[in-house]
Amino acid sequence: MRRSRLQPVHGYCATISILGVSMLVGLLVGDGVRLPEVLSWKLAFFAVAVLFGELYPLRVPRGDAESGITTSTTFAFALLLSFGTAPAVIVFALASAVGDIVSRRAWWKVVFNVAQYTLALTACGQVVGLAVDLQSGGVEKFTAGNLLMLLIAGGAFFAVNVGVTAVAVAMVQHL
């Protein structure tokens, strides 16, 4: 039996997984107590939309292959704005895990993806929190001045989400 050697990408994926899962546990322990307070039909709607977006990606033909683009991020961002960072991250992480399990991904990919989304959406929530008060559970009112910060928050999500994955891909491809 051939035994595979540990590569630097394995350490990187393990580090990202530990950081993201630790952050998720922190949100569950710290803000998870507040979750029963925010349970509503609106939260349920967004949660179902996030899960549906993960389970049924839009199919896009690309050359000889077909790839899927999930719509879950859009609803996770709406969840973040409506209920705050912790509920959005928890729902997004659960939806990502369910989607990956249904797709029969390896356990470590499930954990890595949950961690990646946790880090990205938490970064997004931190940027949104600079413009509006998310401590009360969501955004009550936006002003024109908040729009730039929301765009920057979306950029933070994109940068962390794509950046974490791009580093792993580059390490695998020895770039």
The pTM of this model reads 0.85
> Tens of pLDDT along 38-64?
678 888 999 999 999 999 888 887 777
Nearest 5°: the CA angle 139, 88, 161 is 110
Nearest 5°: the CA angle 36, 151, 18 is 55
Banded pLDDT at 138 (limits 50, 70, 90):
low
Enumerate residues 6+ apart whose C-beta is below 8 A from 144.
none
Share of the chain above pLDDT 70, in %: 85
Average pLDDT (121-141) is 76
pLDDT (0 to 100) of residue 69: 82
DSSP state of 32: G
Helix axes 144-172, 107-131, angle to 10 degrees: 150
* Distance in angstroms (rounded) separating the CA atoms of residues 141 and 147: 11
pLDDT (0 to 100) of residue 140: 64
> Tens of pLDDT along 147-172?
888 889 999 999 999 999 998 888 88
pLDDT of 76 above 60? yes
The overall average pLDDT reported for the chain is 84
> Tens of pLDDT along 17-41?
999 999 999 988 876 556 666 678 8
* Distance in angstroms (rounded) separating the CA atoms of residues 12 and 48: 32
